[in-house]
Structure 1
Amino acid sequence: MAISQPASDHRRAFDLDLPQRLVGILDTASARHGRAVLLLVAVALISFLPGFFSLSPIDRDEARFAQATKQMLESGNYVDIRFHTQVRYKKPIGIYWLQAATVKAGEAVIGPSARTSIWLYRLPSLVAAIGAVLLTYWTALVFLSRRGALFASLMMAGCVLLGVEARLAKTDAVLLFTILACFGALARAYIRPPGARLRDWTLAFIFWTGLAAGILVKGPVAPLFIGPAIAALAIADRSGAFLRPLKPLPGLLWCLLLVLPWFVAIYLVTNGAFYQLAVGVDMMGKVAEGAEGHWGPPGSYFLAAWGTFWPSIVVAALAAPYVWRNRRGQAERFLLCWLVPSWVVFEIAVTKLPHYVLPVYPALAILSALVVERGGLAAVGSRLAGVVWFWPGFGIVVSLALGAAYLYFGSGFGLAVWPLLLLGVTLLWWAARAYSRVGIEGAFLTALAGAMVLYLAVWQTMLPQMRALWISERLAAVVKQQGCPAANVASFPYQEPSLVFLVGTQIQYGLPKEAAALLKKGGCALAFIDERFTPVFERHAGLLGLKYHAVATISGFTYNGGRPTSITVFRSDEAAP
C-alpha cells in the first residue's frame, strides 16, 4: 500500500525544483567556454531587448546624442559636434562615429527612414552591453573557475543599470566595454594565471587600445577609473612592477596615436572652444556643483546601488563581510582597488547620476562570485540572510509603482501586463524562500529569472503603451499626417530634443510671436503651442491677420518637467507664396 507524502513535503519539493534546475543549467553551461558564452548572450538578449525597438527616443541625453549624430550624417561633417542650432561640446567623438556607422549600414538596408529609427542609434550600446557581460566573464576567469566566472557575468547580465544603458543611445554602455577591456588586461598583468596564453604585447595592445577608445568615447572618465586603481595597487604592493607586461611607454605612444588626430582636429575647427566647454564648463562644473540639478550628498551611490545593481546587490551584501575579512588576499586586493577608489571619488563629487559608477559594478560582481565559490557565505548570520527578501520587496514596490503609472499614463488596462508582473514577483518570492535550502546560486538564478520577467513587463508592455509620456512621437505623427516640412514647423515652449530628432533638424524653436509669423508665410506650416501660451499666440495671430485653424490637441505628461501639458497644433490657412 503506497504511503502518501505530506503536503508540506510536496510544497518543499516544488520550491526546490526550479532553483535546482537552474543550477543544473549553470553546471552544464560552465563545462565549456562556448556554452558559457552562448548562455551569457542569451540571458543578456532576454534582459536587454524588451523595449529596445518599441521605445520612443528618451529625453534628454539619448535624444541629444542621436540628433547630433543625425546632423553629422546630414552635413557630412564628422569632426564637429552640433545639436540643432547649437554646438554640443560635452563629450568626444567616439559614440557619434559608432552611431553614424550603424545608421549608415541601416540606410543601406531599410532606406531613408533609418535616420529617424532610434533603435539603430541604440545598437552600439546594445552590442557594448553584451560585450561587457562577456568581458566580465573574461576578466573573472583570472580569479575564478569557469563556473564562478559565469556566475559573476550573470550578475552583470541581470543588472538593472546595465539594462537601462543597453537601451539608450549614449556613451555609458560603450564606456563600460572599453574600461572592462582595460581591467581584463590589467588583471592578467597583475595576476599571471597558470598557463596564460596571451603574451605581453597582446595584453598591452588590449589595454592601451581600450583606454584610447574610452578616451574617445568620454574623455578623461576612462583614465579616472583606471588610474586610481593602478595607483592603489602600486601603493598596496609598494611596487609598480605589475605594469611591465603592459609596456607603458610604447603603449602610451600607441594610445596617443589613436586619440590625438581628432583632439587636434576639433581644436583647430573650434579654435579651442571645445575644450573650454567640455573641460572648463561640463567636467569641472560636475565636480564643483550639481550640474543640471543632479546633486546628491556622499553616500548617494551606496543607496542607489540597491536599485541599480538589483537583483545582484543581494549577493554583494551577503558577500561583504567575507570580503572585508579577507581584504589582504591578492584577488580581493585587486578587485577592491578597482572598486573603492573610483567609488569614493564619485561619492565626493557633487554631481550625482546613477550611471557614473557603472564601471565598478563588474568588480562588485566578481568579488561576490569569489565569495560564493569559496563557500564564504556559509557563516552568514540569520539577520544578514534576511536581505534575500529584498528581492521580492523591491519587485513588489516597483511593480505597484509602475502599475499605478501604467493605469494613469497608459492607453488601456493591458491584460498582458498584470500576469507578467505577478509571475515576476512570484519568482522573486520563490527565490527568497529557497535560499535557506538551495543556497545562494539557486536562489539568485531564480531571482534573475523573476527580474527578466519584470523587465519584459516593464520595457516591452508597459512603457511603450504609456502614450501620455511620448509627446514628441505623437506630435511627429501629426507632422507626418499633415505633410509639412520640418522648416515650416514651430514649437513653444515644448522644445525637447526628441522633437528635433523625430520632426527634423530644421524645426523652429521660438516665441509665440515667431510661430505666428512663420504661419503667416503661408503654405503647409504648423505651430505647436502649449495651452498656457495659446492666448499669446492668438493675440499675435490677430495682429498679423493670420488665417489658421487647429488640427489636433496632444495632451500628455512631460516627464522632464514633471507636469501635465496640452499642446494644440495650429495649421496655416494662408496661401502658399
Structure 2
Amino acid sequence: MHRLITRWHPFALLALLSLVLLLPAVLGAPLGFDEARFLEDTRALAGGGNEPIATPGAHWLGLIVLWAGGEGVPLWGTRLPDLLCAVLGVLVVHDIGRTVFNKKIALVAGALFAASLALNGIGTRAGAGAPGALAGLALMDLLMRLHLQAKGGAPMALWMAHGFWFVLGAALLTQGLAWPLLGVVFLALMSAERRGLGWLVPLRPFPGVIFLAAVIGPWLAALPEGTLGTALWPPMAGEPALVAPTALLVLWPTVLFAAPALGRLWNERADPANSGLAAWLIGAVGLIALHDTAALAALPGLAPLALASAAALFAVRDGTYERFRHPPALGVYALWGTATGWLIVEAGDRAAWSTEACLAAAATTLAGLYTLILIGRGRYLNATVAALLTALLLRLAP
C-alpha cells in the first residue's frame, strides 16, 4: 500500500481506476428513456428555448458539449460531462477520507466508491445525477471540515466558507433539495450534539444566504406556476442500471464490509470523524423514506459507507477484526456472493452467452470466489482488492 501511494499519486490512481470502470458503459451502453428526455431538454436549451427547465444546472455542461460538437456530437460525447463529474466525485471522496482519516484509508474509500453500481449508473449516462452528486459530495466535504474544526481540527479557509454557499446553490440547481436536505439533517444532528449553533459561525451565514439567494433567485422566479415542487424534488425514475432491485445491488461491491464498518462506526462514535459519518448516514437513510426509489439515497449513503468500510479495514488494534466474523457480517458476505452471481448471469444474458461472454463470466466468477476465500482466511484488505477486480471484470464483459 505504501508503494502504491508513493509511486502513484492517489488522485491519478483513482482517476485512472474510475475511467477504466466507467468508460466501457460510456462508450457502449444503449440510450435509455430518461437519458433521451434529458438530452432533448438540453438540445432545447441549446436551441434558445424559453421554457424553464426544472433543474437547469444539470444541463449547463451538456450545453458546452453541444456548442463545441454541434448537433452531430455522438452519444458517448454527450455523456462526457457526467463521466467527468463522476471521476471528480471519486476524488472528492478521497479528499474527505484524507481529511478525516489518512491517505491509505482515503485511497481504499475512493476505490470502493468508484467501483459501485450506483456511480456506474449515473456516471455513464447523460443526466442530473452525476453533476448533482459532485455538488453534493463537495457540500458534505465542507460540512465534515466544519464539523472537525468545531472539534479542534484544522480551521476552514475563508474560500471554503464562500465555497460552501456556491456548492449549495449548485446542488439546488442540479438536483433540487436532495443533497441540501442531507446537509440540513447533518447540521441538525451535529447542532443537537453541541446544543447550540455557534459552531456554524465560520460559514458566515449572513453574506452566504444573500449570495445563495442571488444564485437561485432568478431561477425560482422564472419557474412557471405550479412547478416549484417538481423543481425542488425532481422525479428520479428508472434507468435499470441505476434503480437495482435491492439496495445491496445498488451499493455493490462497497457493501461487502458494511456490517463490521457500521458496528465500528457506532462503537467509536465518540471520535469526531465517526460521529460525522454516522450523521451523514442517518441523513442518507432518511432520504429513502422520502422518495420512491433507492437510487436517490444510494450515492449520498454510499460515500460515508465507503469511508467507514475503509476505516474498518485498517482498524487492526481496536477489536474491529473480530466483527468481520460475526453473523451479520457472514450474512452480508453470502448476500454479496448471491448478488455477484446474479450480476454475472445478467451480463451473460445481455451478450447472449457468446464465447467472449462465457470467458468473462468464468473470470468474474473466479474473482468473486477468490474474494470470499480471502475473507474466510481473514485477509480482508486483499479481499477488497479482489472485490474491486471482480467489479472491473464485470464492467469489461462484452
Q: TM-score, normalised by structure 2?
A: 0.89
State the partner residue of 2:17.
43
Choose the corresponding residue for 1:106, options 59, 66, 69: 69
State the partner residue of 1:76.
48
Q: Of the two structures, which has the highest relative contact order with CA contacts closer than 8 Å and spacing of 6 or more?
A: 2
Q: Distance in 2 between matches of 1:302 and 1:421?
A: 20
Structure 1: gaps spanning 5 or more residues: 1-25, 82-88, 295-300, 408-412, 462-577
Q: Distance in 1 between matches of 2:251 and 2:193?
A: 28
Mapped contact 1:391–1:432 kept (Cα < 8 A): no
1:303 shift after superposition? 8.1
State the partner residue of 1:369.
310
Mapped contact 2:351–2:357 kept (Cα < 8 A): no
1:159 shift after superposition? 0.7
Q: More strand by proportion, 1 or 2?
A: 1
Q: Distance in 2 between matches of 1:184 and 1:57?
A: 33
Aligned-residue CA RMSD (Å): 2.7
State the partner residue of 2:175.
218
Is structure 2 residue 270 aligned with structure 1 residue 328?
A: yes
1:100 shift after superposition? 0.8
SS of the equivalent of 1:351 reads coil
State the partner residue of 1:140.
97
Q: Is the alpha carbon distance of 1:216 and 1:315 closer, same or farther for their aligned partners in structure 2, counting shifts above 3 Å?
A: same
1:285 shift after superposition? 9.7
1:197 shift after superposition? 7.8
1:308 shift after superposition? 0.8
State the partner residue of 2:261.
319
Q: Distance in 2 between matches of 1:163 and 1:292?
A: 16
- Measured against aligned partners, the alpha-carbon deviations of 1:85-109 in whole angstroms (never above 9, x if no partner) come to xxxx5x32111122111221223xx
Choose the corresponding residue for 2:40, options 38, 57, 67: 67
Larger radius of gyration: 1
1:391 shift after superposition? 4.0
Q: Is the alpha carbon distance of 1:277 and 1:309 closer, same or farther for their aligned partners in structure 2, counting shifts above 3 Å?
A: same
Q: Distance in 2 between matches of 1:94 and 1:178?
A: 11
Q: Distance in 2 between matches of 1:128 and 1:248?
A: 27
1:42 shift after superposition? 1.0
Q: TM-score, normalised by structure 1?
A: 0.63
Q: Is the alpha carbon distance of 1:331 and 1:198 closer, same or farther for their aligned partners in structure 2, counting shifts above 3 Å?
A: closer
1:395 shift after superposition? 1.7
Is structure 2 residue 227 aligned with structure 1 residue 277?
A: yes
Mapped contact 1:391–1:429 kept (Cα < 8 A): no
Is structure 2 residue 345 aligned with structure 1 residue 400?
A: yes
Query: Which amino acid is 1:447 matched to?
Result: A
The 5 A counterparts of 1:200-279 are 201-264=158-221, 266-267=222-223, 272-273=224-225, 276-279=226-229
Q: Is the alpha carbon distance of 1:302 and 1:45 closer, same or farther for their aligned partners in structure 2, counting shifts above 3 Å?
A: closer
Q: Is the alpha carbon distance of 1:292 and 1:126 closer, same or farther for their aligned partners in structure 2, counting shifts above 3 Å?
A: closer
Is structure 2 residue 395 aligned with structure 1 residue 452?
A: no
Q: More helix by proportion, 1 or 2?
A: 2
Identity %: 23
1:312 shift after superposition? 1.0
The 5 A counterparts of 1:176-575 are 176-192=133-149, 196=154, 199=157, 201-264=158-221, 266-267=222-223, 272-273=224-225, 276-279=226-229, 304-344=246-286, 346-349=287-290, 351-375=292-316, 376-380=319-323, 381-386=325-330, 387-407=332-352, 414-437=354-377, 439-457=379-397, 461=398
State the partner residue of 2:79.
122
1:174 shift after superposition? 1.1
SS of the equivalent of 1:424 reads helix
Structure 2: gaps spanning 5 or more residues: none
Q: Distance in 1 between matches of 2:171 and 2:362?
A: 41
Choose the corresponding residue for 1:56, options 14, 30, 36: 30
